[in-house]
Structure 1
Amino acid sequence: MATAAPQRDPLLDAALRDLADIAMPQPVSMMPHTWAWGALAALVLLAIAFACWRWYRRWLANRYRREALADLVKIEAGLSTPTTRGHALVALPVLLKRTALSIWPRETIAGLNGTGWTGFLDANSGGPVFPIAAARFFEEAEYRGSQALAVVSETDARTYVAAARHWIEAHHVRA
């Protein structure tokens, strides 16, 4: 026995014909709705541009440090053998003097020697940078030749280079 399909209700058919699809709202805009958000975005962009400009000026101003550190690496390479150690140690105080001359006036730096020179180095690094032996080396190195400096041990020479590196990286330039 076959069952007959149920009769469709004419009112239901009429109601289903009148139904419409669901209306979706417009997508939400990501643009700010008030001028204050635009002003805030402009201020943030200006702050970022200013920070980038300051970073670039600082990077340019510290070029002498990068060059001095590159020269220091070359000097440090000459410390391993006694034949080149004397020449490397002669170049070390010259490098510090040249670094100082690149930022301070010549009248301030050129006449400094001995304890005045190491006092200047310590005063502009925020505190004593050089151990006593290193300070004595930098006070006397200008007056000793490469033969006299060649007898310095490699350990002491590396201590002097480490003190010079610390000063180059950490000295303060008062504006």
Structure 2
Amino acid sequence: MSVAASASPLTPANTSLALQPLKELPLPAPVSWAPQTPGWLAVALAMLAIAMWIGWIAWRRHQRERYRKIALAELDAIAARLNDASRRDAALAAIAPLIKRTALAAAPRERVASLTGDAWLAFLARTRGQFDTRSGALLSFLSYAPPSELGAVSQHDAEALVGHARDWIRNHHVEI
């Protein structure tokens, strides 16, 4: 070690003596979260109002579309019963009333309740129904078929009808 290094003014003994007269720096006051000017308060209130308006619109839409979720859940239960031979006929008989109830939830009763046959199928087609000729005929048949004739419906036709019904429930749009 050299002599210059040992005579340094910043040795530990000299450093503590040099720091003793120093005092702690005062900290600034904590920053307030409240807006400092009325303009920011107005912006915050406007943003709150917009958020509440968007939430209200989303809630209304959820309430308006709730019948679709209920109908789809019921259709899933019907589709599950189609695979059980003892409950198949009751499941087939439940498809047409489910579609009618769903249409009644979406459209005014005066426009839907009295529709049958070709007028009913035309309404389903106008409201974005993708029922092909065979599924449409099967839907008309199931609306009024006696329980003894439901066994004649093939599993393939029943599954196709359930698929078309599911598509209609998800995608229908009724002009009011």
Q: Residue 20 of structure 1: CA displacement?
A: 5.7
- 1:150 equivalent to 2:151? Answer yes
Q: Residue 173 of structure 1: CA displacement?
A: 3.3
Q: Please tell me the root mean square deviation across aligned C-alpha atoms, in Å.
A: 2.6
User: How many pairs are equivalent?
Assistant: 161
Gaps of 5+ in 1: 1-5, 7-14
In structure 2, the CA distance between the partners of 1:21 and 1:72, relative to structure 1 (3 Å rule), is: closer
How far, CA to CA, are the matches of 2:84 and 2:39 in structure 1? 68
Q: Residue 21 of structure 1: CA displacement?
A: 4.9
In structure 2, the CA distance between the partners of 1:25 and 1:129, relative to structure 1 (3 Å rule), is: same
SS of 1:83's equivalent in the other structure is coil
Aligned residue runs from structure 1 range 22-33, under 5 A = 22-33=25-36
Identity of counterpart residues, as a percentage? 38
Deviations 1:125-158, CA, capped at 9 Å, x for gaps: 2xx4113321221233223223322232222211
**Matched letter for residue 68 of structure 1:** A
SS of 2:87's equivalent in the other structure is helix
Aligned residue runs from structure 1 range 128-139, under 5 A = 128-139=129-140
Contact 1:93 1:141 in 2 (8 A): yes
Contact 1:122 1:130 in 2 (8 A): yes
Aligned residue runs from structure 1 range 58-97, under 5 A = 58-97=61-100
Gaps of 5+ in 2: 1-6, 8-17
Aligned to 1:37: 40
